[in-house]
Amino acid sequence: MSRFAAPIAEQIWDMKYRLKDADGTPLDGTVEDTWRRIARALAGVEADPALWEDRFYHALEDFRYLPAGRITAGAGTGRAVTLFNCFVMGTIPDNMGGIFDALKEAALTMQQGGGIGYDFSTIRPRGAEVKGVAADASGPLSFMDVWDAMCRTIMSAGSRRGAMMATMRCDHPDIEAFIEAKRDPARLRMFNLSVLVTDAFMAAVKADGPWELTFGGKVYRTVEARDLWNRIMRSTYDYAEPGVIFIDRINAMNNLAYCETIAATNPCGEQPLPPYGACLLGSINLAALVRDAFEPSARIDAGALDDLVRVAVRMMDNVVDASRFPLPEQAAEAQAKRRIGLGVTGLADALLMVGLRYGSAEAARQTETWMKAIARAAYLASVDLAKEKGPFPLFDAGKFLASGTMRTMDEDVRAAIRAHGIRNALLTSIAPTGTISLYAGNVSSGIEPVFAYAYTRKVLQKDGSRTEEEVVDHAVRLWREKKGDTPLPDHFVNAQTLPPLDHVRMQAAAQKWIDSSISKTINCPEDISFEDFKDVYMAAWDQGCKGCTTYRPNDVTGSVLTVSEQSEQTPAEAPAQVQGGEVVYLSEPLDRPAALEGNTYKIKWPGSEHALYITINDIIIAGHRRPFEVFINSKNMEHFAWTVALTRMISAVFRRGGDVSFVVEELKAVFDPRGGAWMEGKYIPSILAAIGGVIERHLVSIGFIAGEGMGLKSDPKAEVIAVGERPRKACDSCGSYDLRMIEGCMTCASCGQSKCG
């Protein structure tokens, strides 16, 4: 019997989490092997590894505890990757040398697969004097462009493109340019943007008062606070960015306010972190803990939840010791505070299974109850770890217990911490779980509502044929198994019908017992008025949220996962079906035939003693010729390492299928800081760009792309096509149009690819 509830779950495991040899041969024979690999790796730091390996395996079994993707894919593999998901980089100095040192650190972190956050408020504004060079500053946005270009060239671990968060304080003189930066669709595509909103600014907005824009003690100009707030709201209404982070609230509630100041978050916003801060993530699958689903006695198994949380905390604490780190500063920060981010997934499904309507007052109260139970279990488990292994090095009982979060904690928990200390400075966070929720059987993601009850997914097979699969929400599938064709009850609601303020209510309820923050998207209807849209953000502020991210589909942002209209049937009578485009998606790499046809091309780079020879071999699928593998050879041994790495990466991409022509544009965009060269009457910015040009000409010659410059562009998510009256965006991984905005992250329902990693 397979542990997977749906084909998509097994395919996600095979593509993203299953350990394979360099040639693609699976080393994890089954998902049980994957669970055993993770359990063994995390138990390896224990005094009694065998005991804890079994307990860890049981927690992972049947997808009850879901470590974040980097842990699932990397633990126990022996590979030089980090198991941490989130990083905030060091404070950017306001000088050229420091800025580019920070850029280098970012590149090293992204090479190992970490999503990173940066506060650009520390860079002087555009036009400010730069002493000693008789010049004016170019401002933080110009350096953000440099970061953006760097990110485009680095592929994150697990074949995920890098994700970055840029923040800027609401009192920085360049804040207006920052707010409107995404109005240019080609700019800062690798960044999520958020404004750091202070308590003083919100007070000024409510009072309709003035607001000073300052840097380095100098007031550059004064604006009306409400006008600036409206500019933030208008940009978000039109372009879905920037998000809003209530930074003073984050610092006031931080358990570590006595020894750190936070000014940035990771890309999805659930982890506010100090300079060089890092956090690992994992989720309790609430849907897997419901007993007697859809019956009057339906409930979460409280004992199982408590036990699972305690084991999960121990596993996550062990990750701090088992993981590598891109930078020594990150390792030191993690060891000093031992921050973890335990959250949940499947909340909406669990609510449906116990008979509650997501967004209702009753559902919010139940969510708060479950979150408190998780927080209590997590904190008490960390106290037990402190008894056994010692508290985190920067623990100070008096200061820790006086922090914002701890002031609301139950007295028995406070007493235990006072007596024994605590192993982990912060313990709870709700992260994006788009891919791992699919892997766990398409449970609802994080604390988001169910997006669609079911949708149809088209899968391209090796022989060129396409099959259709129905992907059904976990709770809906269980309902069908128990109740047959009985219509779904009225309390089954989804993101298409949920009022935005119900989203806010749920986020606020969960936030009360989350000591870090929450990654959540508040879906707004396209026709929501601007005034009602602003009310969503003000409600988030008034109800105690630490931030707010919305998504309103429109002609600029594109529609997200089109759901069919059921004109004569209510949602309870007919689950919504996704109307997807043709998905070019392969569940596993193509097999190599014994013989392939191809061509070899020669590049003589000016100034180089030896030529490069590039061989591109093709495969025939369904009568069409497509690239399959690349080899690059040269007598110049200085090129050996990078040419081998390049050919392996490109060949791996080619074998996955889909529209792989983006490789061409990525290579053509690489520039050499020493300068390019003129070849055949054209300026080529680097030898890599020249290789990209050769591949492009080959793809044109075999009919894979129509002509030079006609390949998929470097940012596939920017490509918009018309479907009916509204544009839709294609997934850059599989080409489908089944994208959805979840937890601040564009996520593909067909292949699980997520911008935010």
At 554-591, the pLDDT tens digits run 766 655 444 433 322 333 333 333 333 333 334 456 67
- Between CA 585 and CA 51 the distance in angstroms is 41
- Between CA 67 and CA 459 the distance in angstroms is 27
pLDDT at 212: 98
Q: What is the pLDDT of residues 140-158, one digit of tens each?
A: 999 999 998 888 776 433 3
Residue 412 has pLDDT above 50, yes or no: yes
Side-chain half-sphere CA neighbours of 361 within 13 A: 0
Find how far residue 111's CA is from the centre of its chain. Answer: 16
Contacts for 207 with CB less than 8 Å, ≥ 6 apart: 225
In order of 196, 237, 267, the CA distances from 170 in angstroms are 6, 18, 19
Percent of the chain with pLDDT over 90: 60
pLDDT at 589: 60
- Pair 252, 196: CB distance under 8 Å: no
Q: How many Cβ atoms are within 10 Å of 418's Cβ, its own excluded?
A: 15
Cis peptide before 593 (omega within 30 of 0): no
Q: In terms of DSSP H, where are the helices of 622-686?
A: 640-656, 662-668
Three-class DSSP category at 567: coil
Three-class DSSP category at 742: strand
Q: What is the pLDDT of residues 344-401, one digit of tens each?
A: 999 999 999 999 999 999 999 999 999 999 999 999 999 999 999 999 999 999 999 9
pLDDT at 579: 31
pLDDT at 22: 82
> What's the mean pLDDT in 34-48?
97
Considering the chain, what is the average pLDDT of its residues? 86
At residue 313 the predicted structure's pLDDT band, cuts being 50, 70 and 90, is very high
pLDDT at 410: 97
> What's the mean pLDDT in 59-72?
96
Q: Which burial class, exposed, middle or buried, applies to 680 when counting CB atoms under 10 A from its CB (0-12, 13-18, 19+)?
A: exposed
pLDDT at 271: 94
Tokens, residue 528: 């929501």
Rounded-to-10 torsion of CA 567, 568, 574, 577: -20
Q: Is 734 a catalytic residue?
A: no
Residue 33 has pLDDT above 90, yes or no: yes
- Between CA 364 and CA 433 the distance in angstroms is 20
- Pair 239, 183: CB distance under 8 Å: yes
Q: Is 86 a catalytic residue?
A: no
Question: How wide is the angle at C-alpha 146 spanned by C-alphas 130 and 238, nearest 5°?
Answer: 105
| Top-confidence range, 166-175, 478-487, 489-498 | 166-175
pLDDT at 469: 79
Q: What is the pLDDT of residues 723-742, one digit of tens each?
A: 333 445 656 555 555 666 66
Question: How wide is the angle at C-alpha 326 spanned by C-alphas 187 and 309, nearest 5°?
Answer: 100
Residue 250 has pLDDT above 70, yes or no: yes
β 164-169/155-156 pair status: unpaired
- Between CA 713 and CA 434 the distance in angstroms is 25
Three-class DSSP category at 407: helix
Residue 432 has pLDDT above 90, yes or no: no
Name which of 326-335, 379-388, 602-611 the model is least confident about: 602-611
pLDDT at 710: 63
- Between CA 486 and CA 482 the distance in angstroms is 9
Residue 74 has pLDDT above 60, yes or no: yes
- Pair 194, 548: CB distance under 8 Å: no
pLDDT at 185: 78
In order of 23, 512, 548, 561, the CA distances from 517 in angstroms are 40, 10, 11, 26
pTM: 0.79
Find how far residue 754's CA is from the centre of its chain. Answer: 6
Q: Which of 251, 255, 266, 442 is catalytic?
A: 266
Residue 265 has pLDDT above 90, yes or no: yes
pLDDT at 574: 33
pLDDT at 558: 59
Residue 689 has pLDDT above 50, yes or no: yes
Q: What's the one-letter identity of residue 553?
A: P
| Top-confidence range, 12-21, 280-289, 453-462 | 280-289
Q: How many Cβ atoms are within 10 Å of 452's Cβ, its own excluded?
A: 23
Residue 674 has pLDDT above 70, yes or no: yes
Tokens, residue 86: 């989130």
> What's the mean pLDDT in 677-695?
85
Residue 4 has pLDDT above 80, yes or no: yes
Task: Name 355's bridge partners.
Answer: none
Q: Which of 241, 260, 270, 333 is catalytic?
A: 270
Taking alpha carbons only, the member of 741, 390, 691, 321 closest to residue 558 is 741
Question: How wide is the angle at C-alpha 748 spanned by C-alphas 82 and 702, nearest 5°?
Answer: 95
Q: In terms of DSSP H, where are the helices of 4-128?
A: 7-12, 31-43, 49-60, 69-74, 96-111
Q: Which of 151, 268, 279, 748 is catalytic?
A: 268
- Between CA 36 and CA 72 the distance in angstroms is 11
Q: What is the pLDDT of residues 620-668, one digit of tens each?
A: 876 678 898 999 888 777 777 888 888 888 888 888 766 787 888 888 8
Contacts for 645 with CB less than 8 Å, ≥ 6 apart: none
Higher pLDDT residue, 84 or 538?
538
At residue 72 the predicted structure's pLDDT band, cuts being 50, 70 and 90, is very high
Q: Is 192 a catalytic residue?
A: no
- Pair 475, 349: CB distance under 8 Å: yes
Taking alpha carbons only, the member of 15, 86, 720, 747 closest to residue 445 is 747
pLDDT at 751: 62
Domain boundaries along the sequence of the chain: 86-253, 597-701
Three-class DSSP category at 106: helix
- Pair 425, 338: CB distance under 8 Å: yes
